């Protein structure tokens, strides 16, 4: 940010230019041989200290450019008025900023993300929503999303079965909430239901704090934290995973703003890393997920400080409707615990049995709907659709537009192709696209684009896109067990410009 740029409440604006209340006519400058820029004068024509000796020529210029007494008095009065108005405006802006900052979550670039092992994506802070100016559309369970392009080639950490994985993640001026760790086959990275069933450890998020000491740690782990603090943990990999490539899922929910108690507005956050399991002790048939509340800095024994007890209660940020406390994750409350993780789940085709044990308790979900009506299909969610402007030949994404007003003509630059992707999360089996009634495409893999998906999970341009005339667009999302979500836009129109 430039030195003369002001930042008030995240809005950057440059100060108004200095007013020149009187300037000599250009004809007089030309007649007297004076230049337009003088190094020894200010923009208001005031004489500054200079080592130059005045010559007859420069003295004539100074005499010619000296304003009359009446204009000098007007200039002093106007400068005093401008100074008082600027001070009053700055004070008002400061009060407004303080009031808004008390209500909104801290407008950091990112609230939490994995730093070790390296994330599978370049995004920092995978969530839905956010403060104005920091809005993100990343529904999880991993940040492989239209706004979170995958690293190419991906970085993979190799570890033995039953070994210990050293993990670090950023704090970024927050505290509280729960962390969940899951390990799923790489081809199930975006399957939210599989992450839920394969979650092997739940912990309090703000445990294992450490101070960043060297430049590498300060840049990698603490670059957004005011106190230069981050978190680390040692994860024991369960012995139910055969050799192969997996995705380590990291989820954080119920987070609190530092120093603001249990009132928070933070949503659900996700991150993932590639992990290769190779060798190790003999495999086990089952592994029982556990909840570890040790190391919680301020909660009651066996609980964590959190605003909510489960993922999905604050799926969009900001989320002001909950007041938290000391609690357990919903899957461990009331004496319950999740089903064991079975080793045969990890063998192709990676089919999970039906189970209801991971459902939240009735008290935690009472604000959603009656407990008896909740099914695992509710993990399938449709947040909206995103327009991608693409290169017509290479398919490279040139622009991503997540908040399009589809009721007015959508302008697209000439020479660009388009496609539309569904922003979905959780337990998704199929996404069907309908254009003017008939089925346009059915896709079962991320990123669920209307134009199709390439061999490397990249969106493909929509070759049958309609230009210049309106058409109806409908998207139908189906969960693994039949729950269907439908949204429709009746008049969509693409125009070139």
- d(CA 361, CA 469) in angstroms, rounded, equals 50
Q: Which of 428, 330, 339 is nearest to 377 (CA)?
A: 428
Give the tokens for residue 240.
Answer: 């139910």
The predicted structure's pLDDT at residue 445 = 74
pLDDT digits (tens, 9 = 90+) for 243-295: 999 999 999 999 887 666 666 678 899 999 999 999 999 998 889 999 999 88
Q: Environment class of residue 234 by beta-carbon count within 10 Å: exposed (0-12), middle (13-18) or buried (19+)?
A: exposed
**And the tokens for 328?**
């357990």
pLDDT in tens, 36-47: 333 333 333 333
Q: What would the DSSP string read from start to end of 312-332?
A: TTT-SBS--S-B-EEE--GGG
Instruction: Compute the distance between CA of residue 399 and CA of residue 249 in angstroms, rounded to an integer.
Output: 28
Residue 25, pLDDT > 70, answer no
pLDDT in tens, 361-408: 333 333 332 222 333 334 567 778 889 999 999 888 888 887 788 999
Q: Which letter does DSSP use for residue 177 in this model?
A: -
Which uninterrupted H or E stretch holds 129? strand 128-129
Distance CA 270, CA 178 (A): 12
pLDDT beyond 60 at 76? no
Asked if pLDDT for residue 27 goes beyond 70, the answer is no
- Residue 395 CA to residue 382 CA, distance in Å, equals 25
DSSP at 263: B
Measured CA to CA, the distance from residue 464 to residue 461 in angstroms comes to: 9
pLDDT tens, position by position, 296-307? 776 678 899 898
Judge if pTM exceeds 0.75: no
* Cα separation, 390 vs 220, whole angstroms: 32
């Amino acid at each position: 940010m430039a030195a003369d740029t002001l930042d008030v409440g995240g809005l950057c604006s440059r100060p108004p230019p200095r007013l020149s209340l009187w300037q000599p006519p250009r004809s007089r400058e030309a007649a007297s041989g004076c230049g337009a820029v003088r190094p020894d004068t200010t923009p208001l024509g005031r004489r500054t200290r200079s080592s130059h000796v005045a010559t007859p020529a420069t003295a004539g210029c100074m005499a010619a450019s000296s304003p009359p007494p009446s204009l000098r008095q007007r200039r002093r009065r106007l400068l005093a008025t401008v100074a008082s108005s600027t001070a009053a405006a700055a004070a008002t802006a400061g009060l407004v900023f303080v009031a808004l900052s008390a209500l909104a979550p801290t407008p950091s670039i990112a609230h939490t993300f994995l730093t070790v092992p390296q994330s599978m994506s370049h995004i920092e802070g995978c969530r839905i929503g956010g403060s104005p100016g920091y809005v993100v559309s990343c529904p999880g369970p991993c940040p492989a999303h239209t706004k979170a392009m995958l690293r190419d080639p991906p970085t993979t950490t190799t570890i033995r079965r039953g070994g210990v994985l050293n993990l670090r993640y950023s704090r970024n001026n927050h505290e509280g909430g729960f962390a969940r760790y899951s390990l799923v086959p790489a081809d199930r990275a975006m399957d939210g239901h599989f992450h839920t069933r394969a979650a092997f450890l739940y912990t309090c998020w703000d445990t294992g704090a450490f101070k960043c000491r060297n430049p590498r740690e300060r840049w990698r782990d603490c670059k957004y934290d005011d106190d230069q603090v981050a978190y680390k943990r040692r994860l024991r990999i369960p012995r139910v995973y055969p050799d192969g490539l997996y995705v380590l899922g990291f989820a954080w929910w119920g987070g609190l703003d530092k120093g603001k108690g249990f009132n928070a507005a933070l949503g659900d956050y996700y991150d993932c890393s590639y992990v290769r399991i190779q060798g190790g002790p003999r495999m086990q048939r089952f592994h029982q997920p556990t909840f570890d509340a040790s190391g919680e800095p301020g909660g009651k024994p066996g609980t964590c400080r959190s605003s909510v007890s489960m993922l999905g209660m604050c799926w969009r940020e900001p989320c002001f409707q909950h007041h938290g406390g000391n609690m357990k994750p919903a899957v461990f409350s009331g004496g319950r615990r999740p089903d064991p993780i079975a080793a045969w789940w990890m063998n192709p085709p990676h089919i999970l049995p039906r189970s209801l044990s991971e459902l939240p308790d009735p008290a935690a979900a009472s604000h959603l709907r009656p407990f008896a009506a909740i099914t695992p299909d509710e993990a399938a969610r449709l947040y909206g659709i995103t327009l991608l402007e693409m290169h017509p030949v290479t398919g490279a994404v040139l622009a991503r537009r997540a908040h399009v007003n589809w009721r007015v003509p959508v302008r697209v630059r000439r020479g660009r192709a388009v496609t539309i992707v569904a922003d979905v999360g959780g337990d998704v089996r199929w996404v069907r696209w309908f254009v003017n009634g008939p089925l346009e495409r059915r896709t079962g893999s991320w990123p669920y684009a209307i134009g199709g998906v390439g061999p490397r999970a990249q969106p493909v341009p929509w070759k049958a896109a309609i230009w210049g005339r309106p058409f109806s667009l409908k998207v139908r999302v189906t969960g693994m067990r039949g729950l269907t979500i439908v949204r429709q836009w009746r008049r969509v129109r693409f125009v070139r410009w």
